[in-house]
Structure formats: structure tokens, C-alpha cells
């Protein structure tokens, strides 16, 4: 809980001090199924704990429903299900990363949030090409951070790609 508050404070501080240019190369990193992922910080508006989710009929399986966040109804997506990974029970580390793309706020349910990292363009490689078509459609690139690799997501495709996940 303390770590989550620290991340939120860091994000708010970043928003106050920085403009769009200085948010370049910054990624919020999180864990999903024991793998580290990142999403561009410019899309992130806040990080909240898991909330009461109201189910909405006739939605894709990965859309868990909607939450009421300070009077605003926001759809939430379980990123595990979006990737075709087995669902797991939510716990005290489960977070919702609220992002905003094209004036559309969406909550991304992830296993846990890690930190904000600077990953320079020179440290990002294209995703591996394993199969043509659907494979890697949500991946923007592979960010090298020391000896680790962070899977950097294309937030726009994650939200708006209509095809079912693999």
C-alpha cells in the first residue's frame, strides 16, 4: 500500500513539474503473469487499488465492467485476459492503472505496479517476429533496462484493436 501511494505521489509530481516533452522516454512498469511490462507515462492519469466493478452485459471477456471513479464511469479491462493469459484472483497488490487515450479513460487491471523508468529510444528494440499476423500486436517494443527486458505496450492497440486476443 505504501509503494502504491509513493507511485501516485511520483506521478503527480511528474505531472506538475513536467510537460509533454519531458515525459518522453518515461514508462510506468508493472507485472503481469511474472513478466515486466511498460506503458508510456503520458497516457497514465493515476493508479488506484482494485475497486468494486459493475459488470456490463455483451462486452468482450477481457472487459470486466465499469467502475465509478469520483463520479466518472470508467470501463476496466483485465490485461491478463486481453493477452489470453489465465485469470487469477485479485489481491492487495492488484492495481488499476487509469490511462487516457483520445479523451477515453480506461482502467487496466494488472498484477502489481513497479516503478516509472526512463527508457531511451536507443534502448528499445522492435518486438520479435515469430509469426505473421496476430502475434505481438500489442507490443510497441522491447526496452532494455540493465540486464532486464521490459515489454513495452502500444496503448492505442491495447484499447482499440477489435480482434480477439490470441
How high is the pLDDT of residue 151?
A: 95
Q: Is the dihedral of CA 104, 110, 115, 118 positive or negative?
A: negative
Say how far apart CA 112 and CA 93 lie, in whole Å. 5
How high is the pLDDT of residue 12?
A: 58
Low-confidence ranges of the chain (pLDDT < 70): 1-21, 130-135, 162-166
How high is the pLDDT of residue 18?
A: 47
How high is the pLDDT of residue 162?
A: 64
How high is the pLDDT of residue 58?
A: 93
**Domains delineated in the chain:** 2-160 (2.40.50.180)
pTM of the entire predicted model: 0.81
Say how far apart CA 89 and CA 102 lie, in whole Å. 31
Amino acid at each position: 500500500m505504501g509503494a502504491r501511494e509513493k507511485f501516485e505521489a511520483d506521478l503527480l509530481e511528474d505531472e506538475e513539474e513536467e510537460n509533454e516533452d519531458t515525459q518522453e522516454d518515461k514508462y510506468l512498469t508493472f507485472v503481469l503473469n511474472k513478466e515486466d511490462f511498460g506503458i508510456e507515462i503520458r497516457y497514465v492519469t493515476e493508479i488506484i487499488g482494485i475497486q468494486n466493478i459493475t459488470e456490463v452485459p455483451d462486452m468482450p471477456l477481457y472487459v470486466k465492467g465499469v467502475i465509478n471513479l469520483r463520479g466518472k464511469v470508467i470501463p476496466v479491462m483485465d490485461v491478463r485476459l486481453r493477452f489470453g493469459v489465465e485469470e487469477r484472483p485479485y489481491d492487495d497488490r492488484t492495481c488499476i492503472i487509469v490511462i487516457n487515450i483520445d479523451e477515453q479513460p480506461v482502467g487496466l487491471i494488472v498484477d502489481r505496479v513497479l516503478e516509472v523508468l526512463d527508457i531511451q529510444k536507443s534502448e528499445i528494440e522492435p518486438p520479435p517476429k515469430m509469426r505473421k499476423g496476430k502475434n505481438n500486436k500489442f507490443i510497441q517494443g522491447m526496452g532494455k533496462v540493465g540486464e532486464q527486458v521490459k515489454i513495452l505496450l502500444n496503448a492505442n492497440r491495447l484499447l482499440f484493436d477489435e480482434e480477439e486476443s490470441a
